Amino acid sequence: MLGAGASREAGGPLMSDFLDLAERLMRSGQVEDAKQSFELVFNGIAALQAVHSKSTLDLDNIESVFAAFEMATLFGRLGRSSVIDIAALASAIRRVIVSTLEQTVRCRIAATGDNPHVVPPECYDNFARLLREMEDGEPGSVSVMTFNYDLGLDYGLHWTRTPIDYCLDATASRALPVMKLHGSINWARCAKCERIAPWTLPEYFSSYHWPHLLETGQSLVIGLSSHLKAWTHCDTPVLSDPVIVPPTWSKGEHHRQIAPVWRHAARHLSEAENIVCVGYSLPESDHFFRYLYGLGTVGDTRLKRFWVFDPNETEEVSNRYTTMLGQAARGRFRYRRLRFSAVLADRALEVLKAR
C-alpha cells in the first residue's frame, strides 16, 4: 500500500506542501495552459480564510482544501464567492492536481550505449522490478493499493512489461491488481455509458510518443492529461476531467463509479498474509481507510506481517497504526523509519519474496 511518501522521491509533493509547489509552478509560468484553474483555486482558498474566524480548516493541505471545495459545490456556498466560481472549483482543483503532478513526477532519460531511453523514476523502477520478480515467482501472490493519483507506478510497471488490472470491473483479470483508491490522472469518465475508462499507458503510447529525447540525466513529463480529450470510449470522447476522488469519508457521487475498486481492495485485504504500507501516514482525517481496513480484513486468512515504512521521526505515525490495529495484528506490527528508496535499497521487502 503506497501513500504520498512513495511518490515524494519521484518528485511528487506531499499533501502538506502540494499547494506551495502548485503556487510556485503558477508563478514561474510552468502551467500556463491551466493558469485560469490555478488562479481560481487560490482565489477559493483566499475565500476560505474567513472560515478561521468561526472554525478550523487546514488550508495548507491539498486534501483538506479539495474536500472543502467539493462540499462548497454541494452547498452552493463559499464565503462571498460567486455561484459561477463555486461551480467551477471542483473542476479547477482537479486540473491543478493533474498539472502539478505531471510537472513534478517526471521520468528520467538514461542511455544504453548510444540509445537514450525514457525510464521511470528510480524508486518506481526498482519497485516495479521487485513486483515483477514476486509475480514471476508466484503468480497472483501480490497486489498494490495506492492513494496516489500520479503515473509513477504505472510507468514503472509499463517499463517492466507488467500488465495492470485497475480493478474497475467486478471480475478480476490475470494482470497485476493495482487499486488506485482515490482515482488516477489517466482515468476519465465515458460520456455515453458513464463508466470509468482508464487510458492505459500501452494504449496512450501507441498514439503519442516522446517528442524528443534530451541529454542523459534530464527528465520528461508524461503529458497524458493534456491529450485526454482525444481518448474515446463507446466511440465517444470521454469527459475532460480525470476521475480524481476527493479524500472525504463519504465519496458521494463518485461511489458508483469507483466502488468496484474498493470491493476488490476489501477482498485483497481479507486474503492478505502480509500487508506492507510505504509512505502512508494514516492521517487522522482518513476515516475511509480505517473502515476499509476494519471491514476488509475480516476473514480466515492468518496475518503474518503488518509492516509500515515511513521516515517520520516521531512516534505519531506508529501510534496511529497501533491504535487502528486489533490485538492479533499488533503482534505482527513492525514500524521502520525508512524512505521508499531506502526500503528497496536495504532489501527490507526481500523476505516477502520467499514468504
Confidence (pLDDT) at 67: 83
* Mean pLDDT (10-residue bins), the chain, 355 residues: 93 90 93 92 86 70 84 79 80 92 90 79 93 87 94 96 93 89 93 92 89 68 86 91 75 71 93 94 83 86 92 91 91 93 80 62
Confidence (pLDDT) at 22: 94
User: Can you give the pTM of this predicted structure?
Assistant: 0.90
- d(C-alpha 147, C-alpha 152), whole Å: 12
- d(C-alpha 78, C-alpha 19), whole Å: 19
Conformation bin of residue 217: beta by default, left when phi > 0, alpha when psi is -120 to 50:
left
Neighbours of 287 (CB within 10 A): 12
List the one residue out of 290, 128, 263 whose CA is nearest residue 201: 128
Helical spans, DSSP H, in 213-315: 255-271, 287-296
Q: Can you say whether the dihedral through the CA atoms of 121, 353, 201, 178 is positive or negative?
A: negative
Residues 19-28 as b/e (b if ≥16 CB within 10 A, e otherwise) read: bebbbebbee
Q: What is the DSSP letter of 72?
A: H
- d(C-alpha 104, C-alpha 36), whole Å: 19
- All three cell numbers of 208: 503519442
- d(C-alpha 114, C-alpha 142), whole Å: 36
Neighbour-count burial of 270, counting CB atoms closer than 10 A to its CB (0-12 exposed, 13-18 middle, 19+ buried): middle
Residue extents of the structural domains in the chain = 8-104, 118-247, 272-355
Confidence (pLDDT) at 348: 72
Confidence (pLDDT) at 115: 75
